[in-house]
Amino acid sequence: MKLKYILIISLFSTAIYAQSTKDSIRHVEQINLLVKKKLLERKADRLIFNVEAYVASQGMDASETLANVPMLKVDENMGSVSITGKSTVGVMINGRMLNLSGNALLNYLKSIRSENISKIEVITTPPSKYEAQGNSGLINIILKKNPNLGFSGNINSNLIQRTYSGFSSNGSLNYQTEKFSSSLKLTYYDSAKRTDENYAILGAAQNYSNSIRRDMWKELTPTLNLSYKLSKNSEIGLEYIYAHQKSGMDIVNKTKNIDSDLKEENLLTNTFHREKLPTHTLSAYYDLKLDSLGKKLSISGNFYKNNSDTEVNFSTLKSSDNSVQDVRTTSLVSPQIFSAQADLELPFSFGTIETGIKFNQFKNTSDLQYFNLKNGQYISDHEKANLFQYQEENYAGYISYAKSFGEHWETKAGIRYENTNAESFTPSSNLGNQYNYGQWFPSAYVSYKKDKNAFSFSYSRRINRPSMSNLNPFRWYSNPYSYSSGNPLLTPAYMNNWELGYTFNNKFSTSIYYLRMKNAFGQISTMDEISQIGTYLNYYNNNFWGLNASYTDTFFRFWESSISMNASLQNSSVFNVDAKTQKGSSFSYSINNTFTLNKSKTLVFFLNYNHSLAYKNVNSYFQAFPELTSGLKVSLMEKKLQINATVTNIFAQRYRGELYFSDNTQYMNNYWDGRSLRLSVNYTFGGSKKKISKKNIKFEETDRAQ
């Protein structure tokens, strides 16, 4: 009898335990569902987009994932990532600035799978810890910790059909133990597109230019990451990237010039342009945990170098005398960057202090040679040759303080000081320029959260230094009469950013912002008889008032939609040029729709529409640009194999705009082969699961080497 009671009690206990376990599992699942619904989070200094909570971002690469983040825009034609209503932003991986721009940046992002992304941080007013360089903030992609011990990796291939066919492929192989982590990534792409550019300058004289161009890129890039835990409190690591890049352009340009006396001159130019660009990047770090409370010291160093070796051959037929001029230009551009920094994080009961120092050194030497073909031989033209040398050193230090008050309030404030010494020299003209400036860059943030509501206010001061190509005075010739060049006398622009943000229920987000920009620079085109000349000038100040808003939700369980909009007003003043400024406005919106077609969520259809209405800015006017994109995603083999098909810019829209000056109006009408069909196949394999952290190193300066 006792045994019977014992068995009954044992079975009853087991049933209770089993039910309790089921309830616990169900409770955990409910918690996970709640976490997945938490799409947006607003912190004091950033807006966080949780990728795992958004079905549309699954089975994609990082560039496609960024395009699905509310208020972010990825433009493959321009090779840029931007915040809607603002200019391009810096892109970081785990707090490390990517040393890439343009197509190289987008191709790198395509090598990262959305399944490996935890969240994306949109930092419109970066705190003092980050470089003050740049005028529109930062995007920080946070990767998941690699869960695999042993070997793991993935293979991805893409076919891109524009006017011409293109191909890209990348693969990664990872190996991890409890202390050692390594990753070898290999990226290859070979692509081309057709460009149709039309530019006209109409004034007392008139100039019409049409270029039909085939742009080509080819690159093979291996990347090696290594890290090792010296002890439970310290770790060292390095990253090495070698990019073997080749690019080219085949151009047919027709130019018509009508002078003030109505005399017409026509030029027909065929151009053969080829460039080799081997690039080396080496980064290393050392992390040390000082105690169990979270105090941490980080030391890192970075080195970047490339050698752009370019040859351009062009032949120009001049209609007035039927003469042919054959020209060859060769150029060697060798930027080099070194940086070192130390960061100290000190959490205390009264708040968290962050402080650090940084040193950057930029060097650049460029050599342009110009040759005319005479009697079958190329003869050097020393008047058009150019040698340019540039060196810049930046010293920076910062300190910030963060404090949370209860569950609702979070504050952060900091200040950064940067001192710059720069020197440029042009031996051919014996002209040089030196300048030194030091500036303070304060930042402040406060946020309040209660229930489903989150408010934030932020302020930061920024600087936008010219890139090396902006500064370099040597001439890039499109024909013997027309060229573009940089300007070594350019000085930095300064920005003040204010932003008030609000988030509701982790789905709706809006912000009101004001941006004051002083001493901004840009490219200006002018005419000199039959020559069209482009250069860079500091020439305007700008005031921007803007509103961003987005809402993301799921309807009927199978339809996920994200709607976002941006509206802005601006006024400007100009100097150094005689231009017609006007009060400007802009409005743009996007609707991204994802439809899950089966219960297992392995078949997904998406339809996205973006529309930028016509807008004005400073002395320019740009026509409306609508864009429709659609595609299908299929997941197989428990989502280890993913196949995507996407059609972009279905209506093949063109970019049209106008620039207004007192003595002329300039018109552009361009098509950059935006319509494309993309087929992508990705396969992921991995070993046993165990979370191991991976360090990434900040290197924020290399975008200025472009």
Any idea what the CATH number is for the domain that residue 201 is in? 2.40.170.20
Q: Is 706 exposed, middle or buried (0-12, 13-18, 19+ CB in 10 A)?
A: middle
When mean pLDDT is compared over 1-5, 121-125, 565-569, the highest value belongs to: 565-569
Under 8 Å CB-to-CB from 156, ≥6 apart: which residues? 61, 110, 111, 113, 169, 170, 171, 680, 681, 682, 683
Give the pair of three-digit tokens for residue 702: 């290399």
CB 566 within 8 A of CB 546: yes
In the predicted structure, residue 117 carries a pLDDT above the cut 70: yes
User: Do 565 and 605 reside in the same domain of the chain?
Assistant: yes
In the predicted structure, residue 310 carries a pLDDT above the cut 60: yes
User: Do 206 and 138 reside in the same domain of the chain?
Assistant: yes
Place of tokens 């959260």: 449
Report the DSSP pairing between strands 531-555 and 482-484.
Answer: parallel
In the predicted structure, residue 17 carries a pLDDT above the cut 50: no
Name the β-bridge partners of 162: none
User: Do 7 and 101 reside in the same domain of the chain?
Assistant: no
In the predicted structure, residue 324 carries a pLDDT above the cut 90: yes
In the predicted structure, residue 20 carries a pLDDT above the cut 90: no
Q: 617 or 54, which is more confident?
A: 617
- Which of 416, 422, 442 minimizes the C-alpha distance to 434? 422
Alpha-carbon span 2 to 478, nearest angstrom: 100
CB 196 within 8 A of CB 157: no
User: Do 471 and 525 reside in the same domain of the chain?
Assistant: yes
User: Do 455 and 566 reside in the same domain of the chain?
Assistant: yes
pTM score: 0.83
Residues 536-561: pLDDT tens digits? Answer: 999 999 998 999 999 999 999 899 99
Backbone angles phi, psi at 6, to 5 degrees: -60, -40
**pLDDT for 703:** 54
In the predicted structure, residue 33 carries a pLDDT above the cut 60: no
Question: What is the arithmetic mean of pLDDT over 71-94?
Answer: 75
Residues 512-534: pLDDT tens digits? Answer: 999 999 999 999 988 877 778 89
Share of the chain above pLDDT 90, in %: 55
**pLDDT for 7:** 35
In the predicted structure, residue 57 carries a pLDDT above the cut 80: no
Q: 698 or 95, which is more confident?
A: 95
Question: What is the arithmetic mean of pLDDT over 628-655?
Answer: 91
**pLDDT for 597:** 94
Amino acid code (one letter) for 520: A
User: Do 4 and 42 reside in the same domain of the chain?
Assistant: no
Alpha-carbon span 129 to 400, nearest angstrom: 8
Q: 386 or 280, which is more confident?
A: 280
Q: 52 or 194, which is more confident?
A: 194
When mean pLDDT is compared over 57-71, 82-96, 112-126, 562-576, the highest value belongs to: 562-576
**pLDDT for 706:** 57
Question: What is the arithmetic mean of pLDDT over 113-122?
Answer: 86
User: Do 100 and 22 reside in the same domain of the chain?
Assistant: no
In the predicted structure, residue 180 carries a pLDDT above the cut 70: yes
Give the pair of three-digit tokens for residue 39: 């799409």
Name the β-bridge partners of 120: 49, 141
User: Do 298 and 411 reside in the same domain of the chain?
Assistant: yes
Return the number of other C-beta atoms located less than 10 Å from residue 10's C-beta: 10
In the predicted structure, residue 338 carries a pLDDT above the cut 90: yes
In the predicted structure, residue 87 carries a pLDDT above the cut 60: yes
For 468, the enclosing helix (H) or strand (E) is helix 468-471
Q: 384 or 377, which is more confident?
A: 377
Give the end-to-end CA distance of the chain in Å, rounded to a whole number: 87
Question: What does the radius of gyration of the chain's CA atoms come to, in whole angstroms?
Answer: 28
> Mean pLDDT over all residues of the chain?
86
Backbone angles phi, psi at 87, to 5 degrees: -85, -170
When mean pLDDT is compared over 72-86, 439-453, 580-594, the highest value belongs to: 439-453
In the predicted structure, residue 112 carries a pLDDT above the cut 90: no
- Which of 236, 114, 231, 226 minimizes the C-alpha distance to 181? 226
In the predicted structure, residue 25 carries a pLDDT above the cut 70: no
**pLDDT for 66:** 86
In the predicted structure, residue 476 carries a pLDDT above the cut 50: yes
User: Do 584 and 685 reside in the same domain of the chain?
Assistant: yes
Give the pair of three-digit tokens for residue 141: 């992609």
**pLDDT for 699:** 55
User: Do 10 and 89 reside in the same domain of the chain?
Assistant: no
Residues 480-519: pLDDT tens digits? Answer: 888 888 898 899 999 999 999 999 998 999 999 999 999 9
In the predicted structure, residue 54 carries a pLDDT above the cut 80: no
Share of the chain above pLDDT 70, in %: 89
Give the pair of three-digit tokens for residue 109: 């992002």
For 9, the enclosing helix (H) or strand (E) is helix 2-37
In the predicted structure, residue 261 carries a pLDDT above the cut 50: yes
**pLDDT for 11:** 35
Please give the residue range of the domain that contains residue 156: 38-705
Report the DSSP pairing between strands 603-612 and 584-596.
Answer: antiparallel
**pLDDT for 351:** 95
Return the number of other C-beta atoms located less than 10 Å from residue 271's C-beta: 20
User: Do 464 and 368 reside in the same domain of the chain?
Assistant: yes
Alpha-carbon span 106 to 102, nearest angstrom: 7
**pLDDT for 405:** 92
Alpha-carbon span 538 to 534, nearest angstrom: 14
When mean pLDDT is compared over 26-35, 91-100, 260-269, the highest value belongs to: 260-269
Question: What is the arithmetic mean of pLDDT over 657-677?
Answer: 92
In the predicted structure, residue 31 carries a pLDDT above the cut 70: no
User: Do 380 and 493 reside in the same domain of the chain?
Assistant: yes
Alpha-carbon span 570 to 240, nearest angstrom: 43
Place of tokens 């940067």: 418
Find how far residue 71's CA is from the centre of its chain. 14
Report the DSSP pairing between strands 476-479 and 676-685.
Answer: unpaired
CB 133 within 8 A of CB 463: yes
Q: 702 or 306, which is more confident?
A: 306
Alpha-carbon span 35 to 169, nearest angstrom: 34
Query: Looking at the chain, how many residues does it have?
Result: 706
User: How many distinct structural domains can be found in the chain?
Assistant: 2
Alpha-carbon span 12 to 4, nearest angstrom: 12
Backbone angles phi, psi at 465, to 5 degrees: -85, 145
Return the number of other C-beta atoms located less than 10 Å from residue 320's C-beta: 11
